[in-house]
Structure 1
Amino acid sequence: MTVKNGRRWSTANAYLRPAMKRPNLTVVTHALVHKVLLEGKTAAGIRYERKGNVQEVRAKREVILCAGSVGSPHLLQLSGIGSKAVLEEAGIDLQHELPGVGENLQDHLEFYFQFKCKQPITLNGKLNWFSKGLIGARWLLDRKGLGATNHFESCGFIRSKAGVEWPDLQYHFLPAAMRYDGRSAFDGHGFQVHIGHNKPKSRGWIRAKSASPSDNPEIQFNYLEHEADREGFRDCVRLTREIINQPAFDPFRGDEIQPGNGVVTDAEIDAFVRSAVESAYHPSCSCRMGSDDLAVVDPETRVRGIARLRVVDSSIFPTIPNGNLNSPTIMVAEKAADIIRGKGALSPSDAVVGMDENWLERQRSGSPERVAM
């Protein structure tokens, strides 16, 4: 969590709002960017629409796209930068062929593993209007209490199997059994873990459907296309059951709500995952960094083949990070800001990273009596 004074401390709160008093910053809201203006192979500005008026802004130095892993590749395509075949299909004139634009799309998936709770101690007991009123009142008065947290205060990572160098399964624990969006909850006390396979091998794409910026692009994630991803979610189910069935949970663990005790075989798990899995809202990698023909930006975040144009957001990750994207995206922006300003790199960290010396041969460390994932 990133929380300050009982509020989520977003990048808008932490970075943008404190800078809005600066005379060299103008923030235009409720605007729809049409395209990057090109003069040959050089970015010259942008065209945007606000309240029905189309305007152009000329760049003195550079244009930097930070529209996210859907918006940035779409804007490049609208500007004529991308795959020749994709642009021809959308009716967009090709200005610069860069076939990797919109490709390599990745995301994290997760599902809820839910259990009944034997003790009346979960948030399911706080969903009546009276309790919610008290929670809201306390938050309004002093920004504290249950309204000042997202409740995902316990999390962890484990390896799915031997030979996986870095833990590739991620857990978030929630002291309640309910939908992620809060629209429905288990009738009684329960708890759940959100679990997902963090290093998917499936790849998708984002492609403009027309030259109009008002037409949403076509998005295809190709979730679970790769057998390794389906195998990863089978591991999610089986390892989670092993963890929750440890003696420490005995005073709390009731019957399994979801997936349910009848979901055991590979086919049953695959069917459950297909029906229950949801996006973790981590789209990324659709303008990936690199030096090969399918790379979109170079190691300096510059769009390959176009001068004075950069992309700085989660779309430039070559592969999806092994965790939530908020912090890595901020780190990319901080690093890009240093590059753009010509600041040197920080000294390399000498922090010690723990590693099980036998990770190639075993999935976990420790003795059978005291297991550490």
Structure 2
Amino acid sequence: MSEGKFDVVVVGSGAAGCVVASYVAEHTNASVALLEAGSSDNDSMIRMPVGYAKLLEHDRHLWTYETIPQHGVPRPYRSGRVLGGGTSVNAMCYVRGQAADYDEWQEAVGDTGNWSFKDMLPHFKAQENHDSFSNEFHGVGGELNVMLTTNINELNQRCMKAFQEYGLPYNVDYNGVSQIGVAPIQATIHNARRWSAVDAYLRKHILSGRVKLLTEATVTRVLIEGKKAVGVEYLHGNQKKTIRGEEIILSAGSLHTPKILMHSGVGAAAQLKAFGIEVTVDSAEVGENLQDHPIFCAKAFVKGDMGYQKIASGIGAMKAGLRYFLAKEGPAAGNCIESVSHWNPEDFTALPTVQCFHLPVISVQGLMPTGTRSGVTMEMALLRPHSRGWVRLADDNPTSMPLINPNFIGDERDLKTAISAVRAIRKVLAQPSLASIVDEELEPGLPAQSDEAIGEWIKKVVNTEWHPVGTCRMGKDRGAVVDARLRVNGVESLRIIDASIMPNIVAGNTNAPTQALARNGVTMFVEDFRRGRVVEFRDARSEEVGLA
């Protein structure tokens, strides 16, 4: 069954898809359709900032994927399956990373594109409406509301002081001149509610009818005729449908975008042929180069009722929820992640290699509170991991979970950095501001003292920070999946605009960078669209230039 034809069809309504569909709607006269595999975002737990913990605990609005075994054990590998994607279920932390990240993107494309930090900063600023900063690094008047956390609980205050006693500077803006230091969190929260990419960009265009939204529409493949994308096939319930488009933009994220491409015949020829999929473009790196921030959480019990453990469950949670719904205030009005540190444990003046959120609870995987005894979870993440993994097809069924291998701590350099981070956190916990209240180290636990013992613990607990990128990387070389204008090499009228195009992961949470790269990418798309869509594309297999 066909659902008609549009000028532009966008697949995925996450951080990138919301930006893309909205920008096209605002800057062209094109008809726009947006397909989302999940349901509407009409859920009070989405709007309540702290509600993400309950969503994740119960796997609501999520793709419930798992990795292949990592150090012997599969790990949960969830991603958002709802209008807004990850921006509707994440912890709302606004982190851009380091200028060097984007300069490395520029190196990947060379003189074929504009992806340096200098090029990206205007997009960050144009999107941003910051409640505390307005300067060369920050914007006001944009559609993405960002707040600086100010009402910080005592346990987090002590964490911030302890990191300073350890030797880090206080840095109120890790998205400014330097990332180094300990700081209050910047978060996409506005008037005590989550401010998702739907709120920022998309909702007004859905309500006006400018963007045609199709929810519960799981895209299975791109329809390619010859070497030109002409639409997509999707499932609505058990019904197979198609929608035609003059231009197709994949914004389905680093797991689903390569999966869709492979089922469309764009991928490593040998893998596709093994499942009986006809090869349209032999693109060996589709699904490769998977990067993520591996996390590992040190935990310690603290004396008394400091932090938020008492409001994480039972009567305390009910009281906090009631206070929020009646007055839009209290801990539930924030994300309960109120401070963070970025640093290099080996050199405090070097670019940070570790991020540490200071969670004022004992939590599972750094996300979901557990137990009743008060404590602190130091959620450490490697910002610049060397390990690389992949996403590949499990079979020929487009509804099957793909094989996911993040290869956590697969590179010995990552293990060395992680061990240094754990030793650093123990030094922080021993500083005066925390030593006086820390009752007992829960993890890694006092028996883990040698590098070998700490390393084994890291491998046992390591998990995802929900930041997969890189599986359809951009570049100027023949192996790149997309070029610097994010056009899929070898297929006309098909682009990828999402985190999968990152050549290297950014040194920070990927929500803000994904929205900014989407704005850069869709700006280029609109430029081409306004020229009548007569633009050059490069066939990665033949290096021939043609017309799209």
Normalised by the size of structure 2, how large is the TM-score? 0.60
Instruction: Report 1:157-196 matches (<5 A).
Output: 157-162=342-347, 165-179=350-364, 180-182=366-368, 184-185=370-371, 187-196=372-381
Give the Cα–Cα distance (whole angstroms) in 2 for the partners of residues 11 and 202 of structure 1: 30
The residue that corresponds to 2:210 in the other structure is: 24
Deviation at 1:301, TM superposition (A): 0.9
Alignment of 1:42 with 2:221, yes or no, is no
1:85 and 1:128, CA in 2 relative to 1: closer, same or farther beyond 3 A?
A: closer
SS in 2 for 1:241: helix
Deviation at 1:31, TM superposition (A): 1.1
User: Structure 1 stretch 45-54 or stretch 82-91: which is displaced more?
Assistant: 45-54
1:213 and 1:330, CA in 2 relative to 1: closer, same or farther beyond 3 A?
A: same
Deviation at 1:33, TM superposition (A): 1.1
The residue that corresponds to 1:319 in the other structure is: 504
Give the Cα–Cα distance (whole angstroms) in 1 for the partners of residues 213 and 385 of structure 2: 37
Deviation at 1:14, TM superposition (A): 1.9
Deviation at 1:155, TM superposition (A): 0.5
| Alignment deviations for residues 299-350 of structure 1 (CA, whole Å, 9 cap, x no partner) | 111111211110011111111110111101111111112111229xxxxxxx
The residue that corresponds to 2:450 in the other structure is: 265
Equivalent AA in structure 2 for residue 310 of structure 1:
R
Instruction: Report 1:72-83 matches (<5 A).
Output: 72-83=257-268
| Alignment deviations for residues 50-96 of structure 1 (CA, whole Å, 9 cap, x no partner) | 13332221112x10001100000000000000111111122211001
CA contact (8 A) 2:294 2:409 kept: no
SS in 2 for 1:342: helix
1:311 and 1:52, CA in 2 relative to 1: closer, same or farther beyond 3 A?
A: same
Give the Cα–Cα distance (whole angstroms) in 1 for the partners of residues 444 and 359 of structure 2: 16
- Among candidates 59, 65, 70, match of residue 245 of structure 2: 59
Deviation at 1:48, TM superposition (A): 1.4
Deviation at 1:164, TM superposition (A): 8.6
Give the Cα–Cα distance (whole angstroms) in 1 for the partners of residues 368 and 220 of structure 2: 36
1:163 and 1:153, CA in 2 relative to 1: closer, same or farther beyond 3 A?
A: closer
- Among candidates 325, 335, 351, match of residue 150 of structure 1: 335
Q: What is the aligned-residue identity percentage?
A: 32
Show structure 2 runs of 5+ residues with no match: 1-186, 529-548
Alignment of 1:106 with 2:291, yes or no, is yes
Give the Cα–Cα distance (whole angstroms) in 2 for the partners of residues 306 and 161 of structure 1: 46
SS in 1 for 2:208: coil
CA contact (8 A) 2:353 2:382 kept: yes
CA contact (8 A) 1:100 1:293 kept: no
CA contact (8 A) 1:91 1:210 kept: no
User: Structure 1 stretch 303-312 or stretch 188-197: which is displaced more?
Assistant: 188-197
SS in 1 for 2:279: coil
Deviation at 1:209, TM superposition (A): 2.6
SS in 1 for 2:213: coil
1:249 and 1:319, CA in 2 relative to 1: closer, same or farther beyond 3 A?
A: same
Deviation at 1:135, TM superposition (A): 0.6
User: Structure 1 stretch 246-255 or stretch 262-271: which is displaced more?
Assistant: 246-255
| Alignment deviations for residues 166-217 of structure 1 (CA, whole Å, 9 cap, x no partner) | 20100101112232453622x4221121112111111111112333211221
SS in 2 for 1:111: strand
SS in 1 for 2:212: coil
Instruction: Report 1:89-238 matches (<5 A).
Output: 89-127=274-312, 129-162=314-347, 165-179=350-364, 180-182=366-368, 184-185=370-371, 187-238=372-423
Deviation at 1:103, TM superposition (A): 0.3
User: Structure 1 stretch 210-219 or stretch 308-317: which is displaced more?
Assistant: 210-219
SS in 2 for 1:339: helix
Pick the structure with greater CA Rg.
1
Deviation at 1:146, TM superposition (A): 1.1
Cα RMSD of the aligned pairs, angstroms, is: 1.8
Show structure 1 runs of 5+ residues with no match: 344-373
User: Structure 1 stretch 122-131 or stretch 27-36: which is displaced more?
Assistant: 122-131
User: Structure 1 stretch 130-139 or stretch 280-289: which is displaced more?
Assistant: 130-139
The residue that corresponds to 1:86 in the other structure is: 271
Give the Cα–Cα distance (whole angstroms) in 1 for the partners of residues 319 and 413 of structure 2: 47
| Alignment deviations for residues 220-264 of structure 1 (CA, whole Å, 9 cap, x no partner) | 122111101111110111111122222232332232121112111
Give the Cα–Cα distance (whole angstroms) in 2 for the partners of residues 73 and 165 of structure 1: 35
Deviation at 1:158, TM superposition (A): 0.3
Deviation at 1:150, TM superposition (A): 1.5
1:126 and 1:215, CA in 2 relative to 1: closer, same or farther beyond 3 A?
A: closer
User: Structure 1 stretch 261-270 or stretch 113-122: which is displaced more?
Assistant: 113-122
The residue that corresponds to 1:285 in the other structure is: 470
SS in 2 for 1:35: strand
Deviation at 1:7, TM superposition (A): 2.1
Give the Cα–Cα distance (whole angstroms) in 1 for the partners of residues 209 and 295 of structure 2: 44
